[in-house]
Amino acid sequence: MTKLSVNINKFATLRNARGGNLPDVLKAAKDCERFGAQGITVHPRPDERHIRYKDTRDLAPILSTEFNIEGNPIDSFISLVLEVSPAQVTLVPDAHDVITSNCGWDTKKHKDYLRNICKIFKARGIRTSIFVDPDTEIIKHAADTGCDRVELYTENYAKYYSVGERNLAIDPYVNAAQCAKEVGLGLNAGHDLNLDNIGFFKNHIPHLLEVSIGHALICEAIYIGLENTIQSYLKELKNN
C-alpha cells in the first residue's frame, strides 16, 4: 500500500491568520495520525508564513508515524533538520518568495550541491528525497547525488487530468517511475493530488511508496470532515 503523509501546513496558515493557537497544529497532526495517516509532512519556510520552525521542533517528539520535513536546504533549514532528525527530508528548490512549490530540481546542474547536502543528512541516518519533474534524465542524475528517493512533482498531472487528458497526464509519470526503479531510487509523489485524481495516479504508477498531500486534503476536509477525508484517501491508495 502506498503510504499517505498529510502535509499540515494549511492548519498553520489558518492559525497564523488569526493569531493565537486555533487550530492547534500539534493536535491536528495527532488527529491525522489517529484517523489513519501514515506520516506527517511539514514545509517550513524562512518567513514562517505557515509552519514555524518551533512547530517543527514541537512536533518531532509527539509523532508516532513517519515525520517528513521538506524545504529548500538553506543553512537554517539544514540546521533544523539535523536538530529534529526526522525519518525523511525532502529537498525542494523553493525561491523565498514563491506561494507554493513550482518546479523540481535540475539535478544535472546542481548535482554537486545536492550530493553534498544528501551526504550531510544521510550521515545522520535521515532518508533523503529530491523533488523532481517527471523527466527520466533528471531522475538518472538524481541517482548520482546519493539520495534515497525522488518525489515526483505532480502539478502537470493534475492539470491535464482535470481537463480529461488522462493519457497525456499520466504517461510522463509512468516513464519516470520506471526510470526511478531502474536506477535504484524509491518513489514518492506530491502536489495538487486530490480525491478526484489520486486513484488513477496510484493505479498507473508502479513502485509508488508515498504521497504527500496537504492543500487539497484540508480543503476537502472542510466539506466531509478530516477523518472521512483521510479514510477516503487511504481507500483510494489501497484499492486502486
Residue type, 45: R
Distance CA 21, CA 9 (A): 14
Strands 66-71 and 208-213, bridge-based pairing: unpaired
Residue 1's pLDDT is 86
Residues catalogued as catalytic: 43, 70, 191
pTM: 0.95
H-assigned helices in 64-165: 75-84, 111-122, 136-143, 155-162
pLDDT in tens, 220-235: 999 999 999 999 999 9
Structural domains in the chain, sorted by start: 3-239 (3.20.20.70)
Residue 228's pLDDT is 98
Residuewise pLDDT in 10s, the chain (240 residues): 899 999 999 999 999 999 999 999 999 999 999 999 999 999 999 999 999 999 999 999 999 999 999 999 999 999 999 999 999 999 999 766 555 555 799 999 999 999 999 999 999 999 999 999 999 999 999 999 999 999 999 999 999 999 999 999 999 999 999 999 999 999 999 999 999 999 999 999 999 999 999 999 999 999 999 999 999 999 999 965
